[in-house]
Structure 1
Amino acid sequence: MQIFLWVAAAWWLLALFLVWQYQFSKITQLINARWLKSLMGFLILLPTWFALSHLHQSRGGDWLLFLLVLIWTADSGAYFAGRRWGKHKLAKRVSPGKTWEGVAGAVVSSLLLTLLWLWWSNLAMPAALWLLLLSVLTVLASILGDLLESLFKRQTGIKDSSQLLPGHGGILDRIDSLTAAAPIFVLGLGFIL
């Protein structure tokens, strides 16, 4: 199980490089080969499934729910902070609507949720402090997942990944943050608890 999580962590470091390359270079096509796209799908979806399954089996539904609500809270915090105060673009070429102020909103809202979780769960020190740090790292990973999915859409020239959920960008837009966040969260939680 752990090997899938470590492979996922390595993949997301590579994904950070891909997003960085696309954002700050003249490159317009990073991923052309069909086999490479298939490999990326494998590296994104399989570790996410393993992480979510492992989290539920080893830590229970409470921790799985915490992870999901953490990501949803961060997404909402980013959206509202970005809409209200967003001026500085995070990755204009990759996803023009995302701002650094949105990142701050995601981090602050997730820290507030984590403090609420710590109060509810009575997690002792120093694990509580580590969970606060893990929550921030998880949220940053979720933003990377969102950016990578935006990069894939730019590469293929589409705006939404499907029309299944009108106005919501498609099914991938519902899970893109989770694909990066879940393996990182589960890997980190293994060190904390």
Structure 2
Amino acid sequence: MSESRQRKSLVWIIGVVGIGVIAAMIIVKIWFAATVFLPSDTATAEVIEPLDPEEQIVRDMVAPVVPGTPVMPAGLPALNPNDYSRDLARFVPIELGMARYAAQDELLLYYNSDAGSGSKVSSTERTVDGDMIFVIRRSGLKDDSLAAEETYARFTDDVLVGFGSRIQCRRGDKANEWTTDLCP
């Protein structure tokens, strides 16, 4: 057999093997998607009724955590910007004038930066007087003095016009109360 013919045979063999590998990968991907993401028995598949929007927010924001650790409240009380501090928010990587989604992304990245530590991050947004209010909270912190932190951001026409932070300390004369003072 000539050298040219051997090369052609080798190219054909490699091509056929490559096509076989690709076909096998596609079959495995289809099988995986069908077995993992689709219910195996549609007769016993649980049908989940949609919740009303307020109930869904409460369900999304409140999850079991360590006793004494604050999570988003079940009710959505009126937000008072005087309960938050711009000075305390100096650690949060947002600035006035930022676009809404950029600011929310920065807040989510900042608050989820230690996600492996077991802390719980929850957030909510609502419209107040035509402005969008976004509140994000991290609780269950492994810090011996800081129990939770929360930041609000107010957007007018999708532009950040106000924000502030507050914290909850584990000890001191304001233990387990929201404050804008640094924890002892």
Specify the TM-score bucket, using the shorter chain as the normaliser: under 0.3
Q: Which has the greater radius of gyration?
A: 2
Determine which structure has greater relative contact order: mean sequence separation of CA pairs < 8 Å that are 6+ residues apart, divided by chain length: 1
The normalised TM-score by structure 2 is: 0.25
**TM-score normalised by length of structure 1:** 0.24
Structure 1 or 2: more helix by fraction: 1
Whose strand fraction is larger, Structure 1's or Structure 2's?
2
